[in-house]
Amino acid sequence: MTAPDAATPPVTPRGDALLAATDLTKHFPVTRGIFLQRQVGAVKAVDGLTFDIARGETLGLVGETGCGKSTTGRVLARLLDPTSGRIDFDGRDITRMSQRELRPLRRNVQMIFQDPYSSLNPRHTIGTIISAPLRLQGISTPGGVKRAVQDLLALVGLSPEHYNRYPHEFSGGQRQRIGIARALALRPKLIIADEPVSALDVSIQAQVINLLEDLQHELDLTYLFIAHDLSVVRHISDRVAVMYLGTIVELTGRDELYAHPAHPYTLALMSAVPIPDPQVERTRERILLTGDIPSPLNPPSGCRFHTRCWKAQEVCRREIPLLRTIRPGHQVACHFPEERADAVAHDQVTVERTTS
């Protein structure tokens, strides 16, 4: 087993993408001292991401808790300023735009948050919550704001008569539908969904996922879908990006990823997913990752996964693997990726388990 050609060029975003991130980083400074605070380090939450999302596509972003998925979503929405790198949206560089310059952009990029309980103001009615984006952007609607809100409620499967109710009068799934209606109020082009179903019962998750898919087809939406549940990601995504400790380690089409995972970390995640076939489940090999996830404050040198990887060699400790194309449409950041014939197919993935 030999390392691939180091001269292989890194992957660059496609020119026709709706959203493109190039070498995107977000570091949170760590300071010491009460009065004269000096920086003594930085938490490298996002560290050099390069990817894109085509118009009408759903890109799933998966990884363990703390890998930087939610921070990535907030940086792309410009709720957080990037430390370095570039963000292009609809052909425009939005990386260093001021808040005033970003105001029109807010109409085209919206977020759905993870917790439907904390993302809605309990003191406001549903009508006030959903109409807030319209008021802030100064948008007039035919028939008035109330009619527009009631139409949005009907669009997400709620009764228009709920206009004057408060969030505490709704279930978790209904509250998330309210959050979706708020995100749709300005008819955005891109929606960043930050684990939108992880706080919901399993019986409700499928309903919300199906709603998001129907809305995508009806309104021509583009999604960045952040999640940790592999079954949800497989159901809704066109392509999947796997994150580990602030970096993307694998990026490819949904079916290709689940049939032929190439990065050892992806392979370990797949091996932890139970298959609904008792005979296969008993005989297949489980890949157990040893050790804890390194701290993003002081990540390992070289490949960040080498401290837990069973394939690690000296080059892995010394050189950072670039995200490169190993097959058409399949990109991986690994010195020793799995060959197609060696990768284990998982055609009936349903649930993800946490590896440790």
Q: Encode pLDDT of 52-78 as tens digits.
A: 999 999 999 998 888 999 999 999 999
Take residue 55 and report the two structure tokens written for it: 């118009």
Chain centroid offset of residue 148 CA:
29
Closest C-alpha to 26, from 6, 42, 10? 42
- Evaluate whether 310 touches 323 at the Cβ level (below 8 Å): no
Determine the pLDDT at residue 138.
87
Is 343 a residue whose pLDDT tops 50? no
Q: Beta 330-332 vs 109-112: how paired, if at all?
A: unpaired
Above pLDDT 70, what percent of the chain?
89
CA 215, CA 195: separation in Å to the nearest integer? Answer: 17
Rounded mean pLDDT of 143-154?
A: 92
Take residue 87 and report the two structure tokens written for it: 């963000």
Is 345 a residue whose pLDDT tops 70? no
Rounded mean pLDDT of 136-152?
A: 89
Above pLDDT 90, what percent of the chain?
62
The phi-psi region of residue 349 (left if phi > 0; otherwise alpha if psi is between -120 and 50; otherwise beta) is beta
- Evaluate whether 240 touches 225 at the Cβ level (below 8 Å): no
Helix, strand, coil distribution of the chain in percent, nearest 5: 30, 20, 45
Take residue 100 and report the two structure tokens written for it: 């005033």
Give the side-chain half-sphere CA count within 13 A for 153.
23
Is 30 a residue whose pLDDT tops 70? yes
CA 355, CA 242: separation in Å to the nearest integer? Answer: 14
CA 263, CA 298: separation in Å to the nearest integer? Answer: 22
Rounded mean pLDDT of 345-351?
A: 36
* Listed range (6-10, 170-174, 256-260) with the worst mean pLDDT: 6-10
Is 188 a residue whose pLDDT tops 90? yes
Q: pLDDT-derived band of residue 346, with 50, 70 and 90 as boundaries?
A: very low
What pTM was computed for the model?
Answer: 0.87
CA 152, CA 159: separation in Å to the nearest integer? Answer: 10
